[in-house]
Structure 1
Amino acid sequence: MSGALGGSVIFPLNSVESQIENIFWYFNGSSVITIESQEPEDKVIVNPRHKTRVSLLDRSYYLKLDNLRKNDSGSYSVEIHHPGQKVSTQKYTLQVYAHLSKPKISQEKQSSENGTCITNLTCSIEQEDKNVTYSWVFVGQETNEFHNGSVLPMPSELVKQNMTFKCVARNPVSNSSSDPITARELCGGAVGELPYYVYLLAGIIAVTLVLPM
């Protein structure tokens, strides 16, 4: 099970028999809440450490945990005691994740080879967390990932087409996208183009040739 930092999570139960004597909820082996079936109302005993954050959903006996914290990650279990010493159990594993901040794109020092731009881009978030995955998508085509992984070797095709793209970071409770970036911005011009000063010089020479002496 996954939960978002500051959010809530509900631990469901399989179908519960009508005849119940006691229910015991545990976190990492320590008691969280105990329910003793009595008439006219159940007696509920809550561990003081969890008193402000745990509750039961009506008569379902589902456990709800609010205002999740990182240290709520761990193992949960429940024991349901029925008449005749019959006991049923369920176990859960909870992992609490923070909502991801906006990822940033950093660029390795670029070089060129035979007029081809060579560079790598790296996508990262400030507070790295467990189970974060990265992918790269074109702007306007977010459902189609063209590369998976935090590092993107810049292919010359992107530069030629001057594509605009962004990085997407995901974890089990959230996803976040970087600011868009255009491939040509990274390489200072499209692959195969001459530097701007070559065109400027050619323009000056052309104007000089047509002007009367």
Structure 2
Amino acid sequence: MLGYTVSQTEETPLKVKGVLGESVTLPLKISAGEEIVYITWLFNGTSIIFLEPKKKPILVTDPKRKHRLKITQSYFLQINELMMADEGLYRAQITTIDSSLIFDYSVRIFERLRNLQVSNHTQIFENGTCEIHLACSVENPNDHISFRWEVSENILLQEANLTISWDSKNSSEQTYTCIAENPVSDLSFSFSVQSLCKTENPRNAEDDPSSAGNTVYIQVTHPNTRKEIATSVENNDSSTIYSTVYQSNRATALDNVI
């Protein structure tokens, strides 16, 4: 696995994106028939591996990573079980019979996103208008994550929070999607506005044996009664949506619900 790479220039190191806990390989571009005398791999200026192709064994000079560093048959450097400490500048210094070669790499480590969640606060008015406040989040946020909302595959907003006003009498059914992504992964969650605004005769997941995926938890509050309803929303196993629905004759202050 070579990870995610972009082209290398003489002035710029090859940029390599690795995934935390996985493996990444730093490739070499050596002409066929080139006779290599020895290769030194360095990390942030310090030697970590030295090898002479005609001699064995390979000398790993970084004791902390001895069991995670590997040289492939093509003399590429493979780093296994990536840690954040593996992030930095790498260099391969190659001496051949005729010349010396240098290859530089800038390695960045990113964590795959986990467990996309969509929380919402829904206000239903007497005239049938439904106002929904939505918020996307992931279990492991960081500085490299971005969120966006799409409707009918068109980008609507490039941030985590979204407010929708929907009128059942005048609005057509639409599917909204929250997408979270970073340089090495992305997660998405799609749902219909109608499924969140509908409070009468909700469909229970138990009544539909074919339903699979996640559950929308809807709390419906009436003036003198209170009950909880569970309805199913089909989606991938890494996404969850939680909602609170209030039905009243007038608008009230909206509180954040997680």
TM-score w.r.t. the length of structure 1 is: 0.70
Structure 2, unmatched stretches of 5+, are 1-15, 200-246, 250-258
> Letter of the aligned partner of 1:32 in structure 2?
I
1:133 to 1:19, Cα distance in 2 relative to 1, 3 A = same
Distance 1:185 1:95 in 2: 41
1:145 to 1:29, Cα distance in 2 relative to 1, 3 A = farther
Cross-structure match for 1:146: 155
State the structure with more CA Rg. Answer: 1
Instruction: Select 1:102's aligned residue among 100, 115, 122.
Output: 115
Cross-structure match for 2:30: 15
Q: Identical aligned pairs, as a percentage? A: 29
Is 1:182 aligned to residue 195 of structure 2? no
Instruction: Select 2:142's aligned residue among 99, 124, 129.
Output: 129
What whole-Å deviation, never above 9, does each CA across 1:25-58 have from its counterpart, x for those lacking one? 11122222111243xx355210222211111111
Contact 1:163-1:182 at 8 Å conserved across structures: yes
RMSD, aligned CA:
3.2
Instruction: Select 1:2's aligned residue among 17, 20, 27.
Output: 17
Distance 1:157 1:36 in 2: 73
Q: Between Structure 1 and Structure 2, which shows a larger proportion of strand residues?
A: 2
Cross-structure match for 2:43: 27
What whole-Å deviation, never above 9, does each CA across 1:112-158 have from its counterpart, x for those lacking one? 7x9755554221112112422223345xx6xx243333232325489
Instruction: Select 1:171's aligned residue among 179, 182, 198.
Output: 182
Distance 1:61 1:157 in 2: 63
Cross-structure match for 1:202: none
Instruction: Select 1:91's aligned residue among 104, 116, 119.
Output: 104
Distance 1:134 1:92 in 2: 29
Aligned-pair CA distance for 1:13: 0.6
Aligned-pair CA distance for 1:62: 0.6
Aligned-pair CA distance for 1:9: 0.6
> Letter of the aligned partner of 2:30 in structure 1?
S
Distance 1:50 1:152 in 2: 45
Structure 1, unmatched stretches of 5+, are 190-194, 198-213
What whole-Å deviation, never above 9, does each CA across 1:70-116 have from its counterpart, x for those lacking one? 221221111112336x422111111122221121113367597x975
TM-score w.r.t. the length of structure 2 is: 0.59
Is 1:61 aligned to residue 71 of structure 2? no
Distance 1:176 1:165 in 2: 14
Instruction: Select 2:94's aligned residue among 50, 57, 80.
Output: 80
